Amino acid sequence: MSSTDDPGNGVQQAAPPIAETPETTAPEAEHASGSPDAVTPAAGTPAAPTPGEAALADPTEDAAAPASPASPAPVPGPPPALVVSDPAQWGRVDEDGTVYVRTADGEREVGSWQAGDAEAGLAHYGRRFDDLATEVSLLEARLKAHTGNPAEIKNKAQALAGSIPTAAAVGDLEGLAARARAMVATADSAAADSRAEKAAARAAQIARKEALAAEAEQIAAESTAWKAAGDRLKAIVEEWKTIRGIDRKTDEALWSRFAAARDAFGRRRGTHFAQLDAQRGEARAAKQELITEAQRLSASTDWGPTSAAMRSLMDRWKAVPRTGRDGDDDLWKEFRAAQDAFFAARAEQDKARDAEQVANQRAKEELLAEAEQLDPAKDLRGAQHALRRIQERYDAIGHVPRGVMRSLEDRMQAVEQKVRGATDAGRVRTAPENPMVASMRAAVTKAEEQLAKAEAAGDQRRITEAQANLATRREWLAEAEKSARR
């Protein structure tokens, strides 16, 4: 359905007027007088006991049916129930077959009956009255329910009001004519009421469509809940189809508002998703570049700088928008695989380095155990020579784990202190440490700390510089200790 096709073009058509019932003429065998008495079929009207008791109907009362509660909107009901009057109360047939009806002015001849007994003739003319009463009741029902054309109903009521008093029928003709005249008197007000009701109903339907059009315009201008808003616009179309009773011009104007709002929403939604697709394309291209760079770095063995580069790539990845659930997951797997390959290789290298340092630790511990067995009290010179050889072998061993470095150095210093203190066998004294040695030892400690920081940062250049600096400081310390021992 295009935006200009109104699915709810509910132009209310006036209900077609109730067709006049064709007049029927009684069989010639039933009335010898041959008078042209026109009657209509249907149901009856309440009968009065005597002509004297008959009175004009109150135009404000419903003489055709019992009173019922008022309904908010007039709805055509079923035709009046069949009520058969008693013609014996309103007329008679004399011995020669002449039929009379009683009125307020006296009896009036209405016909002749030669086809049977008097009772059958009276019933025949009573049915004619019932036919007229049915026609009046139908018009009353249509007028009350505001169905049909009030002007047409008024014209028919006027015709009945003029023809009923002289009709060839037996019944309360004056009362029935009064009911017809009452309809003539109330037809104009009923027409006004009908027009007011139709106008109110039309205004209510217009208000409903105006509210729906306004809602659609708000959705078009503000909503970013694209799916929910699209579903709501579809629901508005379905509701729109159910609203009828509006003139075509107004209905088309309202539909144009709704259609324009729906089209505006569609364009804005299309623009949004086009921009989103473009952004996702840019994000995908950016992430593919990061994947390519990570794959290039994954084979590097320059552990420090590459580790820093990998962390930088991860930060850049987090800054790139998502490309969508499925596509983003696949890209992430590729990127993560490249990073995992590098860090797994670095972990293997760290594991091998740690194993080497543990082996160095065991070797130094064995030398320390050998040094701790020296007894300078028995052979001071031999202990001094043995300690120097142990120290040379100790210094030649590579790095040990940082966690045990200080404890190993403390054990070596304790042995050195024991050998130096053995020169005074008669007293226990602690020789003050040479200032140069103390300074060199502090420099070594600082160099070790710098190396640890460089390794923690993964910066290979800093690690190399720190290792070279530490080696130099240790050489200087060894020389200072040797000079101090001499």
CA atoms within 13 A on the CB side of 74: 18
39-43, 178-182, 194-198, 453-457, range with greatest mean pLDDT = 178-182
pLDDT band at 263 (very low <50, low <70, confident <90, very high): very high
Q: What percent of the chain has pLDDT over 90?
A: 14
Quick one: pLDDT at residue 302? Answer: 84
Which of 110-119, 141-150, 364-373, 428-437 bottoms out in mean pLDDT, i.e. has the lowest?
Answer: 428-437
Average pLDDT rounded to a whole number, residues 368-376: 82
Quick one: pLDDT at residue 10? Answer: 44
pLDDT tens digit sequence for 237-250 = 999 999 988 889 99
Does residue 21 carry a pLDDT above 80? Answer: no
Quick one: pLDDT at residue 455? Answer: 84
Contact 232, 219 (CB under 8 A): yes
pLDDT tens digit sequence for 190-219 = 767 777 777 888 889 899 989 999 999 999
Higher pLDDT, 149 or 93: 93
List b or e across 66-77, with b for residues whose CB sees 16 or more CB atoms inside 10 angstroms: eeeeeeeeeeee
Q: Are strands 91-93 and 106-112 parallel, antiparallel or unpaired?
A: unpaired
267 φ, ψ to 5°?
Answer: -65, -40
Sheet strand arrangement including 91-93: 91-93, 98-103, 106-112
317-331, 353-367, 425-439, range with greatest mean pLDDT = 353-367
44 burial class (0-12, 13-18, 19+ CB within 10 angstroms)? buried
Quick one: pLDDT at residue 70? Answer: 33
Does residue 84 carry a pLDDT above 90? Answer: no
Does residue 449 carry a pLDDT above 60? Answer: yes
**What is the residue extent of each domain of the chain?**
28-199, 201-278, 280-347, 432-486
Contact 200, 73 (CB under 8 A): no
pLDDT tens digit sequence for 96-110 = 888 998 888 888 988
pLDDT tens digit sequence for 70-80 = 334 444 444 55
Average pLDDT rounded to a whole number, residues 219-235: 91
Average pLDDT rounded to a whole number, residues 297-312: 85
Average pLDDT rounded to a whole number, residues 307-315: 88
pLDDT tens digit sequence for 121-176 = 888 988 999 999 998 999 888 888 877 777 788 888 888 888 889 898 989 888 98
Does residue 425 carry a pLDDT above 60? Answer: no
Which of 153-157, 195-199, 393-397, 426-430 bottoms out in mean pLDDT, i.e. has the lowest?
Answer: 426-430
Average pLDDT rounded to a whole number, residues 422-430: 52
User: Which residues have C-beta within 8 Å of that of residue 290, sequence separation ≥ 6?
Assistant: 313, 316, 317, 320, 335
Quick one: pLDDT at residue 266? Answer: 93
Quick one: pLDDT at residue 259? Answer: 94
Does residue 27 carry a pLDDT above 60? Answer: no
Quick one: pLDDT at residue 30? Answer: 35
Quick one: pLDDT at residue 7? Answer: 57
Quick one: pLDDT at residue 6? Answer: 54
Q: What percent of the chain has pLDDT over 70?
A: 79
Quick one: pLDDT at residue 236? Answer: 92
Quick one: pLDDT at residue 48? Answer: 34
> Would you put residue 355 in left (φ > 0), alpha (ψ -120 to 50) or beta?
alpha
Contact 430, 421 (CB under 8 A): yes
Average pLDDT rounded to a whole number, residues 329-341: 85
Q: Which two tokens stand for residue 113?
A: 């009956």
Higher pLDDT, 123 or 26: 123
